Structure 1
Amino acid sequence: MQPNQPSQQPQQLDQVAGERLSHANRIFTSDLSVNEFALLHGAGFEPIDLVMGVSVYHVGFQFTGIRQQQELPVLTEATYRARWNAMSRMQAEADALKADGVVGVRLEWRQHGESMEHLEFIAVGTAVRYAKSPGSYRRPNGQAFTSHLSGQDMVTLMRTGYAPVAFVMGNCVFHVAVQGFRQMLSQMGRNMEMPQWTQGNYQARELAMSRMQAEAERDGATGVTGVSVDISNYAWGYHTVEFYASGTAIRRLGDGDPIVPQFTLGMNS
């Protein structure tokens, strides 16, 4: 589990977002490509609106010895919670629209303003509805599914007998111990492994991956597809890095689930 993982209860819709979404029935907005739009439409999905969530977070400081090899839980929790805030606000917008899912989810970050400790996390995706049977593809708790898969990949996934459940993630901020002066001298001019970095990077990746898998298990998924592991150090210096794992948790379609029809995008000769 993530350190101090936030509650999974639905978040209240932001008032400003609610005003924008109140016009969604008149016209939809989407970041889908033309091909994605055509494939999803042919498979029975209709775009409703672009949904998003934002969280600007102040990342606190955690003291550690330069010779200590360990996870930094204060920084791990801060960067996870900021991502969770952004994702849950995007989820709230999708649920307010009574969407069946959110496709093409992007969860990105940037430094905010001049302060090195302020990070902004932004979650964006297109809310969709399965027109032939609304509600069919929602999660067991009634919320819209979330997926970082493209429109093409999502349709292909459903034709193979699986459905997306949720965008899942896990992270670990880790401090790699600074090697001693004698060790540095022993490595000069030689080909040799750097054990602190090997073990630290391995341990941090494993923690991030296991936490992502725990989220998938929590949501009742049977697997995670499209997994990626990214590495960032933000403003923490050379020896402190974050490993961030993310993917789309999926489940097997049951006998009562609708089957996405075959659809081929026609091309002019």
Structure 2
Amino acid sequence: MGGVTVTDAPSAQWVPQDGAGRLAETAQGKCFTSDLSVDEFILVRESGFVPLGLVMGTSMYHLGLQYAGWKQSVELTTLSQAMYAARELAIERMVAEAVQLSADGIVGVDLRRVGYVGAGEVLEFLAVGTAVRFEKAPGSLRAPSGKPFSSDLSGRDFFKLLRYGWAPTGLVMGSCVYHIAHQSIRQTLRQAGQNVEIPQYTQAIYSARELAMKRMQDEGERDGAAGIVGVRVEENNQVWGEHGVEFFAMGTGVRSVAATTTSTLPLVVPV
């Protein structure tokens, strides 16, 4: 079995030797692989796209240190940038594999975060999806950048999007890691036994969410998207404890195109 020797940090376009061999076989028209369900596979085909094979990208990231004052509610910019960069590397490497298959896009993308026991400062981000090609006019529905688009929409949503004249431009995201100020002992005693809002938590969490959403929206505009669909916002404080929280926003940027199919959505009856 082949391997890879890494002397420097791999680039965003880096594909390991073993992966390159698998992709070369897939590009030759051998049996494709896909993480699509049967229903999703049929609907992607109905949309005019041919599945080419599974593509993936990964990034193992060590998070640095950043300190904030005990009474400060403030963004931890070093950590925000690290969490974004780690995810971006995983997605870009997945797209690099799709380029090797001459794909027009990637559908059904799953972006996962994997933590390791006893190593809270080390995280892995893994992006997996199915590379596809537009059968009627290969290359015509790629992202405005000329690279394959990426989308986390289901096969059903992908079909409906194209049916009504919209196409993905790519995954867009925003991240914000925020430190929430501690309460003073006096505040804690004053609130004991009462139902009362904790204002520093409310304000900090609201600010963190807004920053993540704004960054996702700005990225969509830079990528040429007219809008973003399927947005989800996730909260995580497993790494930093109760006074450190990350908000992560992600969705699929879309633009208006000519409809690729006139088919109606098939009725899928469960067995």
Aligned residue among 88, 113, 117 for 1:109: 113
Which whole-Å CA distance do the structure 2 matches of 1:60 and 1:109 have between them? 17
Aligned residue among 60, 63, 70 for 1:59: 63
Normalising by structure 2, report the TM-score: 0.91
2:47 aligned with 1:46: no
| Structure 2 counterpart of 1:126, one-letter code | T
2:271 aligned with 1:259: no
User: Using a 3 Å threshold, how does the CA distance of structure 1 residues 85 and 188 change in structure 2: closer, same or farther?
Assistant: same
Listed one character per residue, the Cα deviations across residues 75-128 of structure 1 (whole Å, up to 9, x for unaligned) are 111111110110010010011111111001111101135311110100000001
Which whole-Å CA distance do the structure 1 matches of 2:268 and 2:83 have between them? 45
Structure 2 unaligned spans of 5+: 1-10
TM-aligned CA deviation for residue 267 of structure 1: 5.8
Is the partner of 2:34 in helix, strand or coil?
coil
Structure-2 residue corresponding to 1:205 = 209
TM-aligned CA deviation for residue 19 of structure 1: 1.2
TM-aligned CA deviation for residue 263 of structure 1: 4.3
Residues 175 and 212 of structure 2 are in contact (CA less than 8 Å); yes or no, is this contact kept in structure 1?
yes
| Structure 2 counterpart of 1:79, one-letter code | M
Normalising by structure 1, report the TM-score: 0.91
| Structure 1 counterpart of 2:176, one-letter code | C
Q: CA RMSD in A?
A: 1.7
TM-aligned CA deviation for residue 65 of structure 1: 1.6
2:228 aligned with 1:227: no
Aligned residue among 13, 16, 20 for 2:18: 16
% same residue? 50
Which whole-Å CA distance do the structure 1 matches of 2:14 and 2:145 have between them? 16
| Structure 2 counterpart of 1:174, one-letter code | Y
Which whole-Å CA distance do the structure 2 matches of 1:248 and 1:266 have between them? 25
Structure 1 unaligned spans of 5+: 1-8
Q: How many residues align?
A: 258
Listed one character per residue, the Cα deviations across residues 20-45 of structure 1 (whole Å, up to 9, x for unaligned) are 10110211000111011111112211
Which whole-Å CA distance do the structure 2 matches of 1:181 and 1:60 have between them? 30
Which stretch shows the higher mean deviation, 187-196 or 199-208? 187-196
TM-aligned CA deviation for residue 264 of structure 1: 4.4
Residues 110 and 127 of structure 2 are in contact (CA less than 8 Å); yes or no, is this contact kept in structure 1?
yes
Aligned residue among 26, 29, 51 for 2:30: 26
